[in-house]
Amino acid sequence: MKNNDNKINSEESTKDKVIKGIKELIPYVLILVIVVVIRTFFVTPVIVSGPSMKPTLKGGEVMLLNKTKDSYDRFDVVVAEASKNGKKEEIIKRVIALPGENIVCEQGIVYVNGIRQDEEYSVGNTYDFEFLQLGDDEYFLMGDNREDSLDSRFFGAFNSEKIKGKANIILFPFGSFGNVDKNDKE
């Protein structure tokens, strides 16, 4: 009988240990679920690669992407999904023209709805492109480094479904920490 009592106590002890272990894991599992939900639906870090957004953004900088925005303003810096030779890639560009607007570049000057755009943030020569009328859900995106950017001049206009979010904050390196504003970085 004593042997059975020890066996029952041993089984209860093992069961208690398992329950205690599960209870200890619950906070870590909750944290993991919260992080996954936040990164999937709200914000996520993005690493800048390539020179197409210089001087605003430099390769290696890490920025925070706001994924909750469903419409974008002129000069917002966004991440969009582009397809090149059947391969999808994410690109970081600036919104130049909005849905329903028209855009053209003549003699290196960009015009939106016939109005010359003041583009203090851009560098390099902008090659000319023909008049384009954007649809109701199309955005025209361009890199700030006009001579070294594959953007709407190459991919065409982007609909809002292809735009993954707006870049809000540069997180790293710490010397670059701050807002990704419309055109104030040097």
Residues acting as catalytic residues: 52, 93
Task: Name the token pair of 52.
Answer: 């197409």
- How many C-beta atoms lie closer than 10 Å to residue 135's C-beta? 10
Cα angle: 96, vertex 141, 131; to 5 degrees: 70
Query: Residue 78: CB partners within 8 Å, gap ≥ 6?
Result: 72, 92, 93, 94, 95, 139, 141, 163, 164, 165, 166, 167
Cα–Cα distance measured from residue 80 to residue 36, given in angstroms and rounded to the nearest whole number: 21
Q: How far apart are the first and last CA of the chain?
A: 83
Q: Is 67 helix (H, G, I), strand (E, B) or coil?
A: coil
Task: Name the token pair of 143.
Answer: 């890199």
